[in-house]
Every structure is written in C-alpha cells, then in structure tokens.
Amino acid sequence: MQTFKVLKTWKASDEVKQKFHFLEKWNFLLIVGKSSNQNLKSKIFHICKMNIKIPKTQFPVSEVVKKRWSARAFSSSPINEATLKTLIEAATWAASSNNEQPWLYTYALKADTERFEKFHSCLLAGNQPWAKNAAVLLLSCVRTTFAANGKPNKSALHDVGGANTTLMLEAIQHNIYGHMMGGYDVEKTKALFELPEGVEPVIFIALGYLDAPETLEEPFKTRELTARSRKKVDEVLF
C-alpha cells in the first residue's frame, strides 16, 4: 500500500514531494526496494540519500556541489554509453595548464564482464566488495609531459583532478554517483593496461545509480549511512 502511494506521489510536483518526509525513513526504503522499477527506485533512493548526505553548508553553496558524494551502494541499472560519454566530455571541458588536457580515460561497462573484471582486479581489498556493483569502472590516467616539447608538466595531476571532479559533478546532474578510488595496485594496473612511457594511472572511478545501503555489507553499510563532514571555512583560510 505504501509502495503504491510512493509510486503515485512520485508524479507529484517537487513542492509536494518535499512534503513527504516519510521518505526519510529507511524502513520505508526496504518496501520501495521490492519494486521492480529500477529507475523509480534509483530516484527515490536518490531523494532519501540527499537527506543524509547533503550537507548543511555555512554559505549558499550550489545544489550540484552539495549533492555529490562518494556512494558505494550501486543499483543494477546500467549506464547508457552515450550518457557515460557525456560525463567524459564534461571532464574534457575542465581547465588545464596551457590547454594541454593531460587526461586519458578508459572504461568498462558491467555487462562486458571480462573487461569489467580486468578493471576490478586492480582494486584493493577495501574497494573490491562494493565496486563490483558499479555500472561502470573508469580508469583515469595522466600524461606527465607536454606533447609539444616532452618537458615535465608540473600541473598535469592538478588538471586531471579538475577533470575528474568535473566528471563527477556532471554525473550528479544525471543522478549518477561516482566514487574515486586511489586504493588500487599501481604496478598491476600499469602492466594490465600496458600504459606507455609518460602515462601514469591516477585513480579508478566507480559510477552507478544508487541502491539502498542495506545492499552493502559492513563496514560499508555504516559508511553509506553516515553524514559527511568538512572543516569549517575559517579552518582552511590563512
């Protein structure tokens, strides 16, 4: 009955939806979780997670920045390849020193099981249990020298970080959550992906639509349900 109510209320206006505070209750999510409508589930989980993970900021930070967080509970919904390329294109519109664009990406869709396993096998034990449910695993790499003269590009890592963050923010606009992972076997990654001289792996990124935290084992479930925190603005000013 409650599920039916949610399915109906989803079609309501944003203003009406915001009044349905019962969506905050995790018990209720379990009922919704039984629905076979993945897209609807993803949207409802998204709304509920917002309540937990969206910070109360000191200053009026934009919605898209507040919405991004590093999720671990990914649903089985695939990410359309055109949407994925939209996220990657967004990354390419990041600023870079001398417009060098030192970023390189390669990805595996979950449906491509052999390729997905290649990516997954590079992750460390703390990331493998939840990253296996991602719809996409993405490897972010960096070209460490300038193409024109071969000299070291000291801004390269900075610029790739900007590109990856741009990708994550674009993803949020599509209700796709990303989780950056520095926890991977660097040497194995270099070897498996046959990275050429001057190209280094930076991070893996797990991407997917949200699922309920209950789908995770501990300690990941607790982390999924814990509010995010940050230093105060005054603490980072000097």
Ligand X SMILES: Cc1cc2nc3c(=O)[nH]c(=O)nc-3n(C[C@H](O)[C@H](O)[C@H](O)COP(=O)(O)O)c2cc1C
Taking CB under 6 A as the rule, does residue 85 contact ligand X?
no
CB-based burial, 143-167: b 16+ in 10 Å, e otherwise: bbbbeeeeeebebbeebbbbbbbbb
Structure tokens at 30: 């379990």
Q: Which residue has the tokens 């967080």?
A: 69
Site for ligand X in 9-68 (CB under 6 A): none
C-beta closer to ligand X: residue 6 or 180: 180
Element (H, E) at 33: helix 26-33
Q: How many CB atoms lie within 10 A of CB 114?
A: 7
| Binding window for ligand X (CB under 6 A); candidates: 36-44, 95-103, 178-186, 187-195 | 178-186
Are residues 2 and 31 in contact, defined by beta-carbon separation less than 8 angstroms? yes
Considering only 160, 181, 205, 216, the residue that binds ligand X (CB under 6 A) is: 181
| Using rule CB under 6 A, residue 106 touches ligand X | no
Which residue in this structure is represented by tokens 């949020």? 172
- Contacts of 41 by beta carbon, 8 Å cutoff, 6+ apart: 32, 33, 35, 75, 211
Please report the sign of the dihedral spanned by the C-alpha atoms of residue 134, residue 136, residue 137, residue 142. negative
For ligand X, which residue of 25, 85, 188, 228 counts as binding (CB under 6 A)? 228
Which of the stretches 83-91, 98-106, 145-153, 177-185 binds ligand X when contact is defined by CB under 6 A? 177-185
Which of these segments, 5-13, 29-37, 75-83, 174-182, binds ligand X (CB under 6 A)? 174-182
Q: Which is nearer to ligand X, 6 or 216 (CB)?
A: 216
The least CB distance from residue 28 to ligand X, in Å, is 23
Of the pair 20, 220, the CB lying nearest ligand X is at: 220
CB nearer ligand X, residue 6 or residue 140: 140
Strand-strand pairing, 136-143 and 103-109: antiparallel
- Residue 6 within binding range of ligand X, rule CB under 6 A: no
Q: Min. distance of Cβ 34 from ligand X in angstroms?
A: 27
Interface with ligand X (CB under 6 A), residue total: 9
Tokens of 220: 């990941």
- Write down the least CB distance from residue 199 to ligand X, Å: 18
DSSP 18: H
Give dist(CA 180, CA 169) in Å, integer. 12
* Contacting residues toward ligand X, per CB under 6 A: 69-70, 127, 180-183, 203, 228
